Structure 1
């Protein structure tokens, strides 16, 4: 090793999340390594040494250091990972806020032509350049709030051309923006208006045309489906996900958001890498997920935004041994926020999760939920140097003091991309 590219020292509390090859479950989610007076040495974008500062200095003694960063006693964690977003879309839906205020259920908003259908219209009309710029702005906000990797779903096209357009934009952003993007095909997000009297025809379109084309073009790692009453049945979801598996996609599922339809059970049956929402899942469904190792991705900002009194049963999941991750569900309707820091507070208050469980759910477990835990999600030698310095000295302060951005500095693959809370303009 000819040089250390970045040496971060004088870290007050360094949380590594290292020491787990599998998603953390049960009490493990509260067990985190915290090093007082830590340091990190980076070489070619990856962590070369990490631990107490005296030990790291001894390990790199005699090796030239290109750049030093004084953490000034701040808290440092792995970069936050958002394993469920709908990044690329056209338009916005602030006009639905009044419906929400009046207590109109989401599925009724959908039936009125709002919800997904409205965004589909806007996304079909938008150019790729317009979608790129809008999504880039959201990625910038995510990065400034400490998010270094996300999953991005399609699902606002509901026709082959627009679904591919969304996925192309996500791929371009993955290549040009510091935030890494794992793409998921969600053509089965809703039945489009033109197929409302021909559901089977749309399922066939997804299976026979969309999935093979997405695979041929290499535009997505995963396939997802919205398994919910009034959207896609358990059997329709099974057909789509089985075909996706045959084509080599990893599989995910929007499950039991409104009704206990059996999405969690299907996730367990098929071995989905993750099942998401889960507000109405049964204990039997959660046990099936535990048996298959399926990760529960909880979305507390969504239930908050929709004004729901019911939330995902994170405590039951953790007690049952289901691995739990957290995400924003960033989308223009039911969760218009890019901030995982807001989700920290909502998970603490509404899901009764401890600060340690929350961070586990946003780092190593979230990395497992998108198949990237071998390279991100924890700070250990050989992994990408993705980490965040906060204007805070302890973990509990992050969910406690809500509504502001605590991030001071973000390092992505060993490069400082946010400094003093602002994106470094030369990150390209």
Structure 2
């Protein structure tokens, strides 16, 4: 049979066992590993995965439009970064310096820094300029093996400015191979102009912003920062129920700063995911597990801010579905590298390398509602994969802060390569 792309002779291939749901408990540490592996891609989807001889028996090189000799390379699903704040303007390195001098994140926010600083930057930039910066960031993500990214608004905090962020995402993604899952995060903070009128801002979100964003199909999810000093459980419930009524999926920034019951709210509403969870109670986490809510862990944020890390081992042992993401944003995690997130998961949260890989691919796909087509190398799934200059999957989180990606494939076509790639024939 003929195929569009044939990857052969990979030193190793790692993927989750066939399925569509998240890997839970001990299964998170049981990936499928193949040596001398091959992948055949037809019409943007994976047609076959297995030993090179077996795949070539069905899809010979003579019938392939393009063949990649992957000798010495690791083949894996493209990363799914399930939590980012990609469409931002401006940077906040001055706050990075201030924290090094002992100032806390809360103190910086009180004097106009933090999210409020990013709001000011965002409101000052044009939509075309924002789209251009987003496009450049998407290119960097792809070079690091990320083929799908969830991207949140949340730095506009008005209908016009939130729309600008989401439109910039739409524009940038139209010319990028990277697949973008847009999320409306108007409930990221209460803007200064509503500081003394919280109820009015919540009403603005529920009565105008969410219906407009949903009608224009600018977002697939709605997220709320449910935490101490941000939005209460009651406010978050009201916002998220309105989002669900409008046809949007539900996500939460949950219990990052304190245990306010956000994890329990995520379980109550059966959200797709609850993210951060640094202070979530055991009861809230168990409720999430029972409700099938994914826990998206963001070790880069704890690393940057010097905070305690999420209790990954506790979550794994209670059967909670865990995904990894970067939380790429200008304030608390100026890092878009999924391999670095895996390194921190292994070294700081005591996940195994295999668990980190599964959390960054198959489980991450489930955290954006796409487990039925992304995150696994299996027949029928979208042909999104990355080839790394390594012969063992453990090498990627072990040899951190390096560019290991030789090339990335999106929908069965080579989307980017390092320029010195000699493996394509």
TM-score class normalised by the smaller sequence: over 0.9
Cα distance in 2, alignment partners of residues 6 and 132 from structure 1: 31
The corresponding residue for 2:28 is 29
1:324-343 Cα shifts (integer Å, max 9, x gaps): 00000000000011111111
Partner residue of 2:319 out of 313, 318, 321: 321
Cα distance in 1, alignment partners of residues 187 and 15 from structure 2: 37
1:84 alignment partner, SS class: coil
CA-CA distance at 1:108 after TM superposition? 2.2
Gapped runs of 5+ residues in structure 1? 424-428
The corresponding residue for 2:378 is 380
The corresponding residue for 2:392 is 394
CA-CA distance at 1:173 after TM superposition? 2.1
Cα distance in 1, alignment partners of residues 334 and 286 from structure 2: 31
Cα RMSD, aligned residues only: 1.3
Q: Indicate conservation of the 8 Å contact 2:152/2:183, yes or no.
A: yes
2:189 alignment partner, SS class: coil
CA-CA distance at 1:372 after TM superposition? 1.1
Q: Quick check: 1:263 aligned with 2:262?
A: yes
1:66 alignment partner, SS class: strand
Q: Indicate conservation of the 8 Å contact 1:88/1:169, yes or no.
A: yes
Deviates more, 1:185-194 or 1:12-21: 12-21
The corresponding residue for 1:83 is 82
1:153-205 Cα shifts (integer Å, max 9, x gaps): 00000000000010111112222101000011000000000000000010000
Deviates more, 1:414-423 or 1:275-284: 414-423
Q: Indicate conservation of the 8 Å contact 2:297/2:310, yes or no.
A: yes
Q: Quick check: 1:130 aligned with 2:121?
A: no
Partner residue of 2:341 out of 323, 340, 343: 343
Deviates more, 1:104-113 or 1:50-59: 104-113
Show structure 1 runs of 4+ deviating over 4 A: none
Structure-to-structure mapping, 1:157-168, within 5 angstroms = 157-168=156-167
The corresponding residue for 1:311 is 309
1:209-256 Cα shifts (integer Å, max 9, x gaps): 100000110000000000011110111111101111111111000001
1:303-355 Cα shifts (integer Å, max 9, x gaps): 111122x1111111101110000000000000011111111111111111101
The corresponding residue for 1:46 is 45
The corresponding residue for 1:248 is 247
CA-CA distance at 1:62 after TM superposition? 8.9
State TM-score, norm by structure 1. 0.96
Gapped runs of 5+ residues in structure 2? none
Q: Name the count of aligned residue pairs.
A: 421
Deviates more, 1:100-109 or 1:69-78: 100-109
Cα distance in 1, alignment partners of residues 106 and 152 from structure 2: 20
Q: Indicate conservation of the 8 Å contact 1:296/1:322, yes or no.
A: yes
Q: Indicate conservation of the 8 Å contact 2:20/2:373, yes or no.
A: no
The corresponding residue for 2:368 is 370
State TM-score, norm by structure 2. 0.97
2:3 alignment partner, SS class: coil
Change (3 A) 1:23 1:422: farther
The corresponding residue for 1:426 is none
Change (3 A) 1:52 1:118: same
Partner residue of 1:411 out of 367, 391, 409: 409
Q: Indicate conservation of the 8 Å contact 1:4/1:64, yes or no.
A: yes
2:409 alignment partner, SS class: strand
The corresponding residue for 1:352 is 350
